[in-house]
Structure 1
Amino acid sequence: MKIAITGKGGVGKTTIAAGLARLLAADGYNVIAIDADPDANLAAALGIDPGEAANIIPIAKMTDLIAERTGGTPGTMGGFFKLNPKVDDIPDGLSVKANGVKLLVLGTVEKGGSGCICPESTMLKALLKHVIVRRNEAVIMDMEAGIEHLGRGTSESVDAMLVVIEPGQRSVQTARQIEKLAKDLHIPRILLVLNKVRDREEEEILRTYLPDLPVIGTVLERESIRKADLEGKSPFDSDPDYVSDIKVIKDRLQAEIGEAGGAAETATASS
């Protein structure tokens, strides 16, 4: 199962991504969670201690590693460097492990603009493609709205993109833009997650704004989730109702993708 999660900033992508990763790990999957959002905070949502999370160095910031693997100088554009750097050892060697999940923090390329041809961008895209295409693990990606790291060859191996929306027209408009990008990249399933919803009436109103996109699940707004975020903790460890909402999403994804028995197969393959 390879799932990309995106949406407007602040809609709760990370809350959804962390819950899915934790639940899949609890089911016996080998899980890699990828933080590909410039505002990286997936570590805390997974239950990693905030002090430890603050010390995680994003791959994009590992200038010596990037220079070694690409033969190029990070922070520059053009020139000569490898377009297929060695990355197969990175998921195991540089991930942070917690609660059964391997976390990789990609970071973002700060120079050159969107889609720049530079060593950092090449390294991140090669790593993401390796994890999605080559490795036999469940992959949960917390993406930015622009899905910058997904290239065409990688996106075609993604099983589904979850677009998280919250009550509000800006969130809905961003979802429309993401839908177009995802279709351009031939992602096979584009599914909505309704987040921060106060009640069923609000849920039904949201559904009317994007009637052509299937809703895979709803996560209700709860004070416990906000409090967990404020304290740098995972709601997974303190809010069983939140876990129940995420479980509905997970179960529907497994039914949609056809991997209801995948946990046992993945565990067996890796043992």
Structure 2
Amino acid sequence: MKIAFVGKGGSGKTTLSSLFVRHLAAAGAPVLAVDADINQHLGSALGLGDEEAAALPAMGDELPLIKDHLRGSNPRITSAETMIKTTPPGEGSRLLRLWEDNPVYDACARPVELDGGTVRLMVTGPFTDADLGVACYHSKTGAVELFLNHLVDGRGEYVVVDMTAGSDSFASGMFTRFDITFLVAEPTRKGVSVYRQYKEYARDYGVALKVVGNKVQGPDDLDFLRSEAGDDLLVTVGHSDWVRAMEKGRPPRFEQLGEADRRALRTLQNAADAAYELRDWERYTQQMAHFHLKNARSWGNERTGVDLAAQIDPGFVLGEGVAARV
């Protein structure tokens, strides 16, 4: 299942997504973590040193390889150069599984050893000085969107994506690629403003959205979040000595995480598991086509010089049965 963590900058979404990854790994679940934030901190939050985190291969740098592998023998895609971030899979495309070995993982994923197990980590790569004035960050997250479009995930498999802050997540169709989105919100007006904005944007696309209240210090904070988020408020977390130690680069064993935080993480996992059971693969595939056509008309056709609508395979529906045939 695919899970996104979103929220305004400084809300604690990277910290909470890293805790969730650790929780899943400790439970023995296969986990792929993806850092798709403009500020690349997930590796550090998972315990990598600065040099290790900086050495992670950037998905954006491997985009030609990713495109060439994913298009496979799909006759509707004449070359990797005609693929854009929203290009959907079709008959002949190479689909990915979370647990397999393939050239995309070889180039872009690295194992991270946690005290509860090992996870795969992929990163978009940082937004550098060389990008200023010539690129937008969404050109980097396009690699993640293509990857998610071609990934067939199953029950008990977890893809956890730390998304870019705020409403920037809506610059593409990637926000519809998730079974559930956890919006991390502090109990402040600015904290809940991102929730209201996200809720408004996501309304027409059936996005499962739940609020995780962070830095909640007492009943007043809880009442505030309840009044603003209503039934969307799933769980709240407060101060954690374990997290404080982690932020100093000295995390204790994960088993020493406080019971209140453990309960919160179990609640997130239960919500994600329940959301996956509601996935409609046909609708999921149709949403890919919708955003592909939208991007094709607005800029893709002009940039590639081809009619990208022809890349859509009308008889193709992504799903586990299709992955077994490829």
For the aligned pair, the TM-score class normalised by the smaller chain equals 0.7 to 0.9
SS of the equivalent of 2:215 reads strand
TM-score using structure 1 length: 0.74
Q: Alignment partner for residue 222 of structure 1, among 240, 258, 264?
A: 240
Q: Is the 8 A contact 1:160 1:187 kept in 2?
A: no
Question: Deviation at 1:174?
Answer: 1.4
Residue identity opposite 1:90 in structure 2: V
1:69, 1:37 → 2: CA distance? 19
Look at both structures and tell me which one has the larger radius of gyration over its CA atoms: 2
Gaps of 5+ in 2: 69-79, 86-93, 97-102, 279-319, 321-326
Deviations 1:16-65 (CA, angstroms, capped at 9, x unpaired): 211222222232321111111111111122233444223223222x2xx3
Contact 1:34 1:105 in 2 (8 A): yes
Q: Normalising by the residue count of structure 2, what TM-score does the alignment of the two structures yield?
A: 0.63
Aligned length: 242
Structure 1 regions of 5+ residues with no counterpart?
A: 72-79, 260-265, 267-271
- C-alpha displacement of 1:168: 1.2
> By how many angstroms is 1:155 displaced?
4.2
Work out the CA distance in 2 between the residues paired with 1:147 and 1:232. Answer: 32
Q: C-alpha separation between the residues in 1 aligned to 2:184 and 2:39?
A: 16
After TM superposition, list the pairs within 5 Å mapping 1:73-222 onto structure 2: 81-83=81-83, 89-98=103-112, 99=114, 100-107=118-125, 110=131, 111-113=134-136, 120=140, 122-131=142-151, 134-136=152-154, 137-144=157-164, 145-148=166-169, 151-152=172-173, 154-184=174-204, 186-211=205-230, 213-222=231-240
Q: Distance in 2 between matches of 1:149 and 1:124?
A: 14
Q: 1:138 corresponds to which letter in structure 2?
A: Y
**Deviation by residue 1:219-254 (Cα, 9 ceiling, x = unmatched):** 112344233213274884653343343223223433
RMSD in angstroms over aligned alpha carbons?
3.3
Q: Which residue of 1 aligns with 2:63?
A: 66
Q: Which residue is 1:249 aligned to? A: 268
Q: CA deviation at 1:257?
A: 4.3
Residue of structure 2 in register with 1:262 after alignment:
none
1:149 Cα offset (Å): 7.6
The structure with the largest helix share of the pair is 2
- CA-to-aligned-CA distance 1:67-94 (integer Å, 9 cap, x gap): 55569xxxxxxxx923169895323542
Conserved 8 A contact 2:3-2:272? no
**Aligned match of 1:28:** 28
SS at match of 1:220: coil
Secondary structure in structure 1 of the residue aligned to 2:178: coil
CA distance in 2, matches of 1:200, 1:9: 24
Q: What SS does the aligned partner of 1:33 have?
A: strand
Give, in angstroms, the shift of residue 195 of structure 1: 0.6
Distance 1:215 1:92, change over 3 A: farther
Secondary structure of the corresponding residue to residue 197 of structure 1: coil
